[in-house]
Structure 1
Amino acid sequence: MEGVTLRRSARAKYLRLVVKPELVELVVPAGVSERQAKSFLEQHRTWLETQRREMEKRVGQRPVPVRFTEHPTIPWQGRDLPLKIEDIPGKRLKVAVDDSVRISIPSFAGDQRDAWARHAFKEWARRWLRGQVQRSVERHAPKHGLQPREIRIKAMKTRWGSCGPSNDININWLLALAPESVLEYVVVHELCHIRERNHSPRFWALVADHLPRWQGERRWLKTHGLGLLKRFP
């Protein structure tokens, strides 16, 4: 299966193709032979080629990674805010966000100025996002007893969130840059995986019980998500 990575999964119930910027993956449930997998791939070859072309087109239009010292704006909660960077004496890094994003870095940073600003913003955003996620969990978890064991804010290259086998919830720090409603959707999505470890109709019904308009937030991620992932590698 040239150009397609085969991954066997004990949790998968159906054969499915996953198209990502860096690979195409065929997920194969236990008990499905390689011959059956190849047959499935051939049946979906036209669909796969269409998806590949779309992915190449989207990746080709990806934004340039942000250089904090050169870019006039930065995304925050779904809006592009003015970005202001100032050099200050001492060693302390400071970030403040209201109607603009202001980052203060030591004047001795020199040619590391951009790296220092990026690090300061990322760490501040992660701390801020943890509080937002915790509040969202507190709003939604009691309704169906969907209590995570732990919440982690992480850098994730291709995913917005995940729910581990021990009910640990991982959330991509870049969701600090997305609208608040999109963050809430991802949190609810992962909480619902505590009950339903799949994307069955029962799973989506559970999501809808928390967020009746979840489809709009999912569409936002499909439209704008890749841009955020590529802008902040």
Structure 2
Amino acid sequence: MVAAREPSQKVHTYKDIEFTLKKSERKTTSIYIERDGSVSVLAPKPFDMERVQATLEKKRSWIYRNLAEWEDLNRTRVHREYVNGESFLYLGRRYQLELVKTQGVPLALKQGKFCLVKDLVPKAERYFQEFYKNKLKPRLDERIDQYAPRLGVSPRRVKVMELKNRWGSCSATGMINVHWKCAMLPLSVLDYIVVHELSHIENPNHTPAFWRAVEKALPNYEEQKKWLKFNGAGMSL
């Protein structure tokens, strides 16, 4: 089964499953379907390929099912253009783009519109990313302060960055990274991302104990998780 992948990563094949192999600081082997539809295997080093293959075989039906769902959901992926009237997301709401001759900053959200300096359209994606990063960090800090005490954890660091194919990540040392695209999500869904990563501080894997921790902090997490699954492909530039 062939899926999208980053060309810089070495691709392994087990029967009909292509996957990338990544180092994990945990003792267990885990499989993820990335946001681009690729299959990633996180395993302890030194890699035990027989163990990796055994995990892939065990999860074969799960991999097929999730890749099929990814293909269905990504048929509705949005490809936006930087022209007047195009809509862009911020905290779950859509705002139309207006190209302006001049203003104090390259990109601003004002009077219910994204205003972009017309001469800077070739660099529009960069300015949108900077906008999202700058706006997301304080929102993120607020949500961390709200939910970390409920879970009894304290992250070492919280950073907004480019994460390629994930919404968020949590290292074994409690460092949390969140994709800048999360600035496009409704706050309720951002809460799910925050709680998800905070819960990984004490529960590295997606065990029943992990999901109990998520539910304790966010009882309606299933609703937000489902929203992200069906709408995540639209969070794009």
User: 1:57-68 counterparts in 2 under 5 A?
Assistant: 57-64=72-79, 66-68=80-82
RMSD between superposed Cα atoms in Å: 2.9
Match of 1:201 among 197, 204, 208: 208
Pairwise mapping of residues 8-157 of structure 1 onto structure 2 (< 5 A)?
9=24, 11=26, 13=28, 17-20=31-34, 21-26=36-41, 34=49, 38=53, 41-42=56-57, 45=60, 47-64=62-79, 66-69=80-83, 72-88=86-102, 92-97=105-110, 100-105=112-117, 109=119, 113-157=120-164
Unaligned runs of 5+ in 2: 1-13
TM-score by length of 1: 0.79
**Once the 2 structures are TM-superposed, how far is the Cα of residue 13 of structure 1 from its aligned partner?**
3.5
Deviation at 1:51, TM superposition (A): 3.7
- Look up the equivalent residue of 2:113 and give its one-letter code: V
**Secondary structure at 1:224 match in 2:** helix
Q: How many residues align?
A: 221
SS at match of 1:88: coil
- % identity of equivalent residues: 26
Q: TM-score, normalised by structure 2?
A: 0.78
Q: In structure 2, how many angstroms separate the alpha carbons of the residues matched to 1:75 and 1:146?
A: 31
The one-letter code matched in structure 1 to 2:209 is R
Deviation at 1:146, TM superposition (A): 1.4
> For 2:174, which of 167, 179, 202 is the aligned residue?
167
Q: Give secondary structure in 2 for the equivalent of 1:4.
A: strand
Larger Rg: 1
Aligned-partner residue type, residue 63 of structure 1? V
